[in-house]
Structure 1
Amino acid sequence: MGKGGMSHGNSGEEEENMAAWLLGVNNLKIQPFKLPPLGPRDARIRMKAVGICGSDVHFLKSMRLADFVVKEPMVIGHECAGIIEEVGTEVKHLVPGDRVAIEPGISCWSCHRCKEGRYNLCTDMKFFATPPVHGSLANQIMHPADLCFKLPDNVSLEEGAMCEPLSVGVHACRRSNIGPETNVLVMGAGPIGLVTMLAARAFGSPRIVIVDVDDHRLSVAKELGADETVKVSTDIKDVASEIEQIKKAMGAGVDVSFDCAGFNKTMSTALGATSSGGKVCLVGLGHSIMTVPLTPAAVREIDVIGIWRYKNTWPLCIEFIRSGKIDVKSLITHRFGFSQKEVEEAFETSAHGGKAIKVMFNL
């Protein structure tokens, strides 16, 4: 062992690391979580803020999401920030005590997609809380240090955790080339719709209209800076009249539409509302198979863009938050501690929707 094995106190035993394990449908339990040994390029991080994402809720309710199926107990959570406890011998940019936001996906860095820089499309991606990879709702986790991003003094750990959902909006805006001449339509005012709206504004969009079925979410969007909101129905027969409402609300052409819901109706609306030569970016993954009026959009040269997660977004997200260009704090509506009772309550709160936007654990 040599002199490397210093222990705290006299017991010679570290406190036991605990995590929230998904054991079955609606079954989350706080149980011990043993970490692997620290590699030369790893960091051991004490979790401080972990947000709940729609995908976490989905796994809890049905043990699956699209093709990802939970087959054995899995630690949940992937929107996170914490404090460095220990770093490997080759880590130069971090020291214990540093506050960091964490990018939750580890790509292989050797496949063609990784080498060309599109590492978010790596087929060998190991992503927190996407089966069979354990997530980050735990006292401590181990993670590659190059995926830990130091937070400036004026950016809180909660804001650090919000860099993960914000990254989706930033990546969508980059893929869609949002700038000061792009009028933007956002379909859906849930957490991802809202961060996409905030990102589009930070990228310079002069006019943003946001659409949802829920009055409360639209009022939040307005408070966060949407220029106009349009309340829509869930009835596909209303698409034509709603497209007219959206165009009126925009008062100009819609250059880019972000569909942050991903349903037949939202995608049909986005395709119809977007001006000729514009773009529709599909962000939400509601339906895997859709029936949409693609040909009328294609003959108007509408580009349909897909996105998957994000790449190289953390430095920009942190800078947007540090500079005050984006305020993510107001998206955090509920806070919970890390006890069995609170973990269950937090997930119920998030699943229930209502006035909950982002539910955050403070560990």
Structure 2
Amino acid sequence: MTNVPQTMKAAIMKGIREITIETLPIPEIASDEVLIKVKAVGICGSDLHYYSNGRIGKYVVEKPMILGHECSGDIAAVGSDVKRFKVGDRVAVEPGVTCGHCEACKEGRYNLCPDVQFLATPPIDGAFVQYIKMRQDFVFSIPETLSYEEAALIEPFSVGIHAASRTKLQPGSTIAIMGMGPVGLMAVVAAKAYGASTIIVTDLEKLRLDAAKEMGATHVINIREKDPAEEIKKITNGKGVDVAWETAGNPKALQSALESVKRGGKLAIVGLPAQNEIPLNVPFIADNEVDIYGVFRYANTYPKGINFLSSGIADTTKLVTDKYSLEDTQEAMERALNHKDECLKVVVYPND
């Protein structure tokens, strides 16, 4: 290792809404791993859930842990078997390392691997650190034209790419996307990249709807003012959209998404609601032969995501509204948690 220190700073979640900065040893890498100097980490909704509630479903924070999984950086050291990278390479990090040999992995649906080790999902530590190690096959080179912030955004972007793949989104399609948080906004870019001609989005925050227009939405609906399903019917001449994605994890948004789909259309459930059971109109689903897809993370999306964003399809750097140092990680989390009407993507810079 050249120019790599012995220790590093880490932002450690000690309890609910309590993060302290501590010094840890630099991770030791195996022969098939790389050490990455972390340059940018985006704060995600799941980070906020762990920070404010200490759990998401069956995943419970039981000991001090490090949050953050949307990250990019520079290669600082390479294992003895690593041939794909050299020190200094700029990279995006896919945060879920899978086993590679279970049924799901062998089918190419490695997002369903039961043994995945996903950054910042208990008990695995995340990326609010100066250095992380990662198996080389989950690290991807990025061109000089792509910023570290954009490279970190490949992670939420991947969710939209995976939804597009699952719902077989075609050029010329009409699509409705409910919820314009960071995943929803990047889903707009994915829909555009896949050639959707009409991209209708809903949210209740003007800031997010304006950002959606910049990312490529053709129609925006403020659900404080209008009924989304009715508006979508008007926009589509009474037909409904080919595809709807619910990205907010909101029961009402899911019901609106279903209502907005045409006969024979497709619905993807991307956002995770707080409750397990939500009433849905089953006769509508059956009568209209609506295909419903669950979307869990993503698989085989990073090369596509890097190519799409490198093409300049949308200026996603505009989504980065707030920037913080590692020392101010707690402040960054509070900002993202409490000011959704003012900020889109909050980014932490561990080495600045």
TM over 0.5: yes
SS in 2 for 1:189: coil
Provide the residue aligned with 1:3 in structure 2: none
When normalised by structure 2's length, the TM-score is 0.95
Q: Deviations over 1:279-313 (max 9, x none)?
A: 00001012432111122122100001011000111
Q: Does 1:351 align with 2:342?
A: no
Pair 7,284 (structure 1): closer, same or farther in 2 beyond 3 Å: closer
- Following the alignment from structure 2 to structure 1, what is the Cα–Cα distance between the partners of residues 306 and 229? 35
Change in CA separation of 1:46 and 1:55 when aligned onto 2, cut-off 3 Å: same
Q: Distance in 1 between matches of 2:342 and 2:40?
A: 20
Q: What pairs up with 1:1-363 in 2 under 5 angstroms?
A: 14-233=5-224, 241-251=227-237, 253-286=240-273, 287-339=275-327, 342-352=328-338, 353-362=340-349, 363=351
Greater mean deviation of Cα atoms: 353-362 or 285-294 = 285-294
> What amino acid is the match of 1:315?
P
| CA distance 1:250–1:223, change in 2 (3 Å) | farther
| Contact preservation (8 Å) 2:91, 2:140 | yes
Alpha-carbon distance in structure 1 between the residues aligned to 2:250 and 2:325: 34
Give secondary structure in 1 for the equivalent of 2:156. helix
Q: CA deviation at 1:361?
A: 1.3
| Cα distance change of structure 1 residues 7 and 206 upon mapping to structure 2, 3 Å threshold | closer
Tell me, yes or no, if the aligned pair for 2:41 and 2:68 is still in contact at 8 Å: yes
Secondary structure of the structure 1 residue equivalent to 2:25 = coil
Consecutive unaligned residues of structure 1, counting only runs of 5 or more, are 1-5
CA–CA separation in structure 1 for the residues paired with 2:27 and 2:321: 34
Q: Given that residues 48 and 333 in structure 2 are in contact (C-alpha distance below 8 angstroms), is that contact kept between their aligned partners in structure 1?
A: yes
What percent of counterpart residues are identical? 39
Moved more, 243-252 or 107-116: 243-252
Which residues of structure 2 form unaligned runs of 5+? none
Contact between 1:272 and 1:297, CA under 8 Å: does it hold in 2?
A: no
Separation in structure 1 between the aligned mates of residue 99 and residue 196 of structure 2, nearest angstrom:
35
Instruction: Find the aligned partners of 2:309 and 2:207 in 1 and give their Cα distance.
Output: 25
One-letter amino acid of the counterpart of residue 312, structure 2: G
Q: For residues 52 and 160 of structure 1, what CA distance do their matches in structure 2 show?
A: 14
- How far off its partner does 1:36 sit? 4.1
Native 8 Å contact 1:35 1:142 kept in 2 = no
How much has 1:15 moved relative to structure 2? 4.2
Q: Distance in 1 between matches of 2:147 and 2:71?
A: 12
SS state at 1:74 partner: coil
Cα displacement (A) at 1:64 = 0.5
Per mean C-alpha deviation after superposition, the further-off stretch among 220-229 and 82-91 is 220-229
Counterparts in 2 of 1:233 and 1:294: CA distance versus 1, 3 Å: farther
**Farther off after superposition, 110-119 or 213-222:** 213-222
Larger Rg computed on CA atoms: 1
Aligned residue pairs: how many?
Answer: 347
- Cα separation, 2, equivalents of 1:223 and 1:102: 26
